[in-house]
Amino acid sequence: MIDWLRLVRLPNLATAAADSLAGFLICWSATGQSGWPPVACWLAVAASVAFYAAGVVLNDVCDVDIDRRERPERPLPRGAIAVPAAAAVGRGLLGAGSAAACCSAVAAGSAWPAAVGAALTAAVWLYDRHAKATPAGPVVMGCCRGLNWLLGMTAAGGPSALHEWAIPIGMAIYVAGITLYARDEAGRSRAVVLVAGTVAMGLGLAVAAAQVWLPWRGGSPAGVAGFPADNWLLLWGVLGTSVLYRALQGVVDPTSGRVRAAVGNAIMSMITLDAVLVLPSAGPRWAVALLGLLALFLVGRRLVPPT
């Protein structure tokens, strides 16, 4: 079982759930809704978890020959799980994600969650089979994360405003930066690649901050919860600085251990960043609830590595 949990990157599943749940809460709260989210939300969350698990399983299936040289400790090159079995599970998870997205669309009364699910299916396949080893790889991976946000947002009937679009776009750029940063994590990374990945992460965080900055500059309140915009921007800046500081440590010391630690921190920080993104719209209760997913990440990380 531990080998299967490692194959699906157990800790990282919490980040996929956090994205889609945060996306739903932000758009749902913008319409004045409150209380417990409807079934369309939880179906979107289930779809996002299934899509993420499918992507990482099929990633390892496609990379098994490379992993035999660079990461022989992983379950497939080690022979702990048969490659055909992993491929079947990956395809099954991809189908389950598509089915859950379609069910979310029916529950929401909108075709958009199903359309986003179809786009996610295509993006996962494109990354694993073709784009990963090319310069387009980080971009496609970033698109997967942005679509994951949109899966939750469309289930709530959004995004309906320009500043809401800043979140999936910004987080897509952020994840593209992480992917670029982690490109050579199995060995000694190149400083120029690490710097480019760090810059992309910083750019993504800046774009996502427009969720609050644009309404604030336009004279509107930060959100339904009325969280002070200047305080929020300060909090976002502190969190972003902490992520980028860890990334810069990898630039200074580009060894595998240091780079992997920075990548793991950047991935884990997505849950905290998601909670902060929810804060001005849905309020502190849901922000704290999202932070609860951090506990799942930390427990999962004690069992299997996130990268």
- pLDDT tens for 3-49 read 999 888 888 899 999 999 999 999 998 877 778 899 999 999 999 99
Mapping DSSP onto H, E and C, the string for 249-291 reads HHHHCCCHHHHHHHHHHHHHHHHHHHHHHHHHHHCHHHHHHHH
For the cut 70, the answer to whether the pLDDT of residue 225 exceeds it is: no
Local confidence band at 65 (pLDDT 50, 70, 90 cut-offs): confident
Do residues 41 and 157 lie in contact, with contact meaning Cβ atoms separated by under 8 Å? no
Give the mean model confidence (pLDDT) for residues 41-61.
95
Q: In whole angstroms, give the CA distance from residue 285 to residue 170.
A: 24
Q: In whole angstroms, give the CA distance from residue 255 to residue 258.
A: 5
For the cut 80, the answer to whether the pLDDT of residue 164 exceeds it is: yes
**Which range has the top average pLDDT, 217-226, 231-240, 297-306?**
231-240
Whole-number pLDDT of residue 226:
61
pLDDT, tens digit, 9 for 90 and up, residues 66-98: 888 878 888 898 888 999 999 999 999 999 999
Pair of tokens at residue 119: 């786009």
The DSSP letter of residue 158 is: -
Residue 132 exposure: Cα atoms within 13 Å on the Cβ side = 16
Which residues are CB-contacts of 60 (< 8 A; sequence separation ≥ 6)? 7, 67, 74, 75, 76, 86
Do residues 174 and 70 lie in contact, with contact meaning Cβ atoms separated by under 8 Å? no
Q: In whole angstroms, give the CA distance from residue 297 to residue 292.
A: 9
Nearest to 108 by CA among 67, 64, 47: 47
The domain locations on the chain are 2-303
Q: How many helices (H) and strands (E) does the chain have?
A: 14, 0
Question: Amino acid letter at 138?
Answer: P
Whole-number pLDDT of residue 228:
81
- 85: enclosing H helix or E strand: helix 83-108
Q: CB count, 10 Å around CB of 84?
A: 9
The DSSP letter of residue 298 is: H
Q: Please, what is the average pLDDT of the chain?
A: 90
Which residues are CB-contacts of 192 (< 8 A; sequence separation ≥ 6)? none
Which residues are CB-contacts of 56 (< 8 A; sequence separation ≥ 6)? 7, 8, 9, 12
Query: What percent of the chain has pLDDT above 90?
Result: 61
- In the numeric block, the tokens 């994360």 are attached to 145
User: Of 146-160, 175-189, 208-222, 233-247, which range is least confident?
Assistant: 208-222
Q: What is the pTM of this model?
A: 0.91
Burial 268-305 (b: 16+ CB within 10 A, else e): bbbbbbbbbbbbbbbbeebbeebbebbebbeebbeebe
Compute the CA torsion angle 204, 29, 291, 93 (nearest 10 deg): -80
Tell which CATH classification among 1.10.357.140, 3.40.50.9100, 3.40.190.10, 2.60.40.350 matches the domain 2-303.
1.10.357.140
Q: In whole angstroms, give the CA distance from residue 114 to residue 98.
A: 7
Whole-number pLDDT of residue 224:
47
Do residues 301 and 49 lie in contact, with contact meaning Cβ atoms separated by under 8 Å? no
